[in-house]
A and B are shown apart, each in its own frame.
Chain A
């Protein structure tokens, strides 16, 4: 502990003697002549039995005044103790608000602890210091920009809310912080997080980065995957629970079907172990159970255990049945057995084949959302989303300029892993051989997914409100249909073209928008949220998009024509994110800094935590006590009055009593 203004202590030397002197002056008792001290002596004799206490009581006021003065003097001297904190004048606070910050192991949630830490940092700012508050996780937000107004900063900190679905990528926040801190000297960046964040390694921070770790425990059991798939016996419910904590746990899991308890399972999950690449492998257990075909919503709930699961957000999972939601797919072509077989594996599709000579397509996009043009391009393209297979001629979306012989297929560099469209999920195309493919020059809309010899082999994109996938070679001209990857690729393509079809499409991450193709006759689309609230959804160019899915749980999207229900789709929003469910707090963050440090600074006692406010409050209390002591007569009088009122006036004045006796 040290003092910022030690000179203020000199005031004790000045004021202290003054108080004592005034007290001594005041202590001269008023002289009063009485008829006789006979009676008073009697009384004083009684009192002297507890004389030391009396003497103390006589000096009570003096002691309190001295204490008050001492407290005020110390408060004026502005004492502080060093604490973990900041030393700069320009503070940039990055608060992690990802799902893992919802863990409750810090007394309250980690986010609340982080906010408290942030407020404490702001309090430590010197006069005139500036603060910027950035909320990272999901879309980065700058809540307060380089302001000296602490109230505004505190309000911004208070306004931070959990973003369960956004992931925890610190890169944009750190980039902004780097830009802000390079502008001003004496900048410091404070990262308040549990450390489960993605940090870019190519960024060198120009300022000191301090890391304030939040969180204490790693114990967390999550529902990590859940699906409700059609099966011959009805539906199959698949649930996977994962233990991210290091200790093995046993938990009970209740499974509800359409809101009523179906079964309960005792899970016995091994602890997480370090994997081969240094990452953590959670202890997992899967449950597969047949459920009736008419089940719409299945819910798995990990029941609260005595050890306390730190993150309640991922203790519940939902899956919705897709049995009655079918998507119509039209194949225009000469007939393709490979394609038809692959499509028939996808249970929710109604596949119709029309001959190559068809030129008019009366059905609307809502009735037939996907059309596969297998080796043909009709003069007028049908409505809805399109899959071109080996297009023979150019269309308004692309031009066919020739042929490619024996292209060697490889994923396009911009699209490794099929991240953009999800087309290549679980699919490897490297060992697919192709005899001949069309050389296609894509439009600006298209993103190349697979390329071969410089020409796009598979590309996807959106144009004019429709999704288009182009496969540049005929299936017959390659061994792709014979590969394991083929049905998966077709499934991915159909999933892309008909979003919201199949069980996969009904599973969403938090904050991922619900997208529903709207029937043209529909006049209104409403969404029922997990909490039961019903909200209207605007319809735009044949699609209804509802973005406020930060709450996990089942969502129901209903299409109405007037008051008639014409379509209903269910979605399940789950936090199936291992990166977030793994809540083990990290002690260090490696962030390269211009000073040469590779690690963010933690636990350095540089912050000055002043506490003169507490002293002042204490002084106020002492002042009140002193006043009460000074007014003790009046208080005793009031107490007496009250007691007499309650006691029914039994006690009487002595004069009245003696008069009555005489």
Chain B
């Protein structure tokens, strides 16, 4: 159940799945400013074919942008402005805490696959993608930013090379990682957080991310062994992340209470997220990744 994955040997996707991903695109709920000219609508004015607004001419403006038709009608000089199209930076945050490297099918692998699929879709619509793996060490590992189809290879190899923190290592907390990322990210943009949220401070972490206008999608990765534990007898449960062990006598009653607690927790996360404009998606690692990306993400309006 807890066998660590070998990132080198396991490819993230097969080519058939990638071809399906080619046909998809990220959906944005609002326009966000970018750095470089690209293909996404930006809140800025720029040079596209789409009309945005007029404004009076002031000295120094480019006279090529003057609307001569309007001048002929009103005898005043206006500049015709267009919607700028800029590239977006898609942020992929992958939780690499030891608790992720658990479960059958493995949660960490699943999270990387979701991130890879999401990133690939972003790259194929010529967006910039940055990947940040946190929890693995003190600062986390970062892929600075790739752009275009050409960036798919570095993205995949980066994800493949990612490894979860070893159980004994002092793991950075989810809250720290999110706070730091919110401070350091250059541009706000679509943000995909793949985590199991098994951290007491998950609420503060999400709140820290919402401090910047990220368009956040939270993929809550949980293994079937966490959703429906199959235990019977007396156990001493040891936390991989080094938390205090818990002694339980697992019987049907206990398990039922656990599942009730779990549902309550998920409902709490969901209501927290919907109050802050975060798309909350539960990922059961027992569901094949293709089904999850092609149907679940699409149904929730994250991709098209």
Contact = CB atoms under 8 A, between A and B. Distances in A.
B287 interface: yes
B237 A632 contact: no
Nearest to B236: A29
B234 A34 contact: no
Contact of B252 (A33, A47, A636): A636
A34 B262 contact: no
Contacts of B231: 32
Interface string B255-294: 0011111110110001000000000111110110000000
Interface string A17-40: 000000000010111111111111
A36 B234 contact: no
Contact of A640 (B200, B252, B263, B283): B252
A35 B234 contact: no
A504 B294 CA distance: 112
B249 interface: yes
A34 B102 contact: yes
Nearest to B231: A32
A200 to B, nearest CB: 74
Interface stretch (B23-31, B177-185, B238-246): B238-246
A29 B224 CA distance: 23
Interface of B, helix, strand, loop or mixed by DSSP: mixed
Contact of A37 (B243, B251, B253): B243
Nearest to B167: A33
A633 interface: yes
Contact of A42 (B196, B239, B265): B265
A29 B199 contact: no
Interface core residue of B100, B237, B249, B296 (most chain A CB under 10 Å): B237
A637 interface: yes
A151 interface: no
B248 A36 contact: no
Interface in B225-241: 225-228, 231-241
Contact of B258 (A39, A54, A662): A39
Interface stretch (A169-177, A245-253, A653-661): A653-661
B247 interface: yes
A36 B99 CA distance: 6
A34 B249 CA distance: 15
B48 to A, nearest CB: 36
Contacts of A43: 248, 254, 257-258, 261
Nearest to B196: A35
A33 B261 CA distance: 20
B198 interface: yes
A46 interface: yes
A41 to B, nearest CB: 6
Given A29-B236, A40-B258, A46-B261, A659 B287 contact: yes
Nearest to A40: B246
Contacts of A54: 249
Given A653-B228, A654-B259, A662 B296 contact: yes
B242 to A, nearest CB: 10
B261 A39 contact: yes
A606 interface: no
Contacts of A637: 252
A655 B284 contact: yes
Given A32-B236, A36-B239, A42 B284 contact: no
A463 interface: no
Contact of B234 (A27, A33, A636, A659): A27
B142 interface: no
B247 A29 contact: yes
Nearest to A653: B228
Nearest to A639: B252
Given A36-B243, A654-B262, A662 B281 contact: yes
Contacts of A326: none
B235 A35 contact: no
Interface in A608-632: 632
A47 B280 CA distance: 29
B199 A38 contact: yes
Please list the 6 inter-chain residue pairs (A to B) with the smallest Cβ-Cβ separation, ordered nearest first. Answer: A36-B198, A35-B102, A662-B282, A29-B236, A35-B99, A654-B259
